Structure 1
């Protein structure tokens, strides 16, 4: 069993859930957080048979709650070596003028403010480790524009750029920083984005053979497992069936 702890935000589904299971299989004690207490409890019960697990119901948007979570960590869980900033979401897929301002604020508060809250609180702990990793979940939307991405893409572009800037500040400290940028993945992500419309979510992935949560968990574990002198700066990954298309051109009509 590892003596170093892994902290995963948004551990109740998708990449976070798959990553928690994979790190547990490899013997890493876990701190798992999320807003759905029942799921956290269930996951904790499942993984506690393998490794020590500390779970904390947490909304990363709440800076005070994040600070209290870190301040009250049991001593045996304070040696955090890996931070997986996974908590995030997209809301809506229509054009900007049809979007809900509340949805925009929720994406910014979660994808940007929440990630900053957690990272800022954990930097003092991470900098004490001889080898540490911050793995931030960005998106291909941080690099490539598409209709309906507006604030979601903007928030993930922040994650990617913040990761690079943080890497500059932490160079020489032993803390590695990675921006992981997945493409089309079949998780609850689209179900949340489409406000619970299961049919719309299913149709998005039909015939695509998309990335799966376990695929991203494997990549996260690989990044964290690199030798101390290796930093994976950024990694963009898509399913083979997904690629770039032509630029949109709007033509004048008579």
Structure 2
């Protein structure tokens, strides 16, 4: 069921969004060649434990698309991994493409956001192009999150950017409603038909999250951890996400990273 938030409830969601955004900003600055994925996970754990009213949305999370409960505080996806990456004992190498996806509840309200970046000096232009595509697609999707538009307008805007870059699009996983829980209605695909679908109204809070792979739209679940989603052909992926609220004045980003 799609839930609309009051103005007061949207205000109550902002601390969680700002908290998630600030952690991702700090993680991007501190993640270097040699940083271990478990260090990133532990940093997030300590941030959550130090914040009154904060709880991880990932620890013990057990949806039907995972294998058993998730046991970490952040998703760390590297190179051919693009979603639901489980942190493990791996030191990042020069040129690794890293996607960090973080969802935290503060005082019962969730903020959900993701970033992708390349560590080190070996910045492959193709990796940077892929990341830029997800960022531009996110901006395009947010721009269409206007009262009176349709959900398909957001999806179509995201898909148009991806198609312009020549990247294939997977529709199995996409954006979603956000509120007291991390994943709610509606589903927000990364491609679709303009002027179709649910009519957008003030009070709707959704996560918009373009993610693309360089040369395929097919993914598989890593059986070693039962969670990490990887490209079927080994090509790299990138993922960018914001939680936004639709207001009478247009979209408002709740997971700002300034």
Q: Which TM-score applies when normalising by structure 1?
A: 0.25
- Which structure is richer in relative contact order (CA contacts within 8 A, separation 6 or more)? 2
Choose between structure 1 and 2: higher strand proportion.
Answer: 2
Q: Which TM-score applies when normalising by structure 2?
A: 0.25
Query: Which structure would you say has the larger Rg?
Result: 1
Choose between structure 1 and 2: higher helix proportion.
Answer: 1
